[in-house]
Amino acid sequence: MALERVECLLRELRTKRGLSQIELSKQLKSRGVNASQQLVSQIEQGNKPMSRLIWRGCSLVLGYPMEAFYEWPPNLEQQAGES
């Protein structure tokens, strides 16, 4: 059984904090995380996966736990147990 794709919630969390993509990119860069505005856009559109470093950086900048950045299918645990 194939796993369902998870949804990245970066755009929603970023806009809740009132930051633009450029502002998020600058704040990440100030913490040593190289993520351009273009990369942030690609992640938000689902075109690029978020690396662990960017994921952790976004967690620190936006003040959300890392688990909040993805919407996991409700049956993901059930699917994992069936394999």
Q: What is the SS3 string spanning 9-75?
A: CHHHHHHHCCCCHHHHHHHHHHCCCCCCHHHHHHHHCCCCCCCHHHHHHHHHHHCCCHHHHEECCCC
**Residue reference for tokens 């059930």:** 78
For residues 1-29, give the mean pLDDT: 90
Q: Tell me the pLDDT tens digit for each residue of 32-55.
A: 999 999 999 999 999 999 999 999
Contact status, residue 76 vs residue 3, Cβ threshold 8 Å? yes
Return the CATH fold of 7-66: 434 Repressor (Amino-terminal Domain) (1.10.260)
Residue 77 has what pLDDT? 55
pTM of the model: 0.81
pLDDT at 75 over 70: no
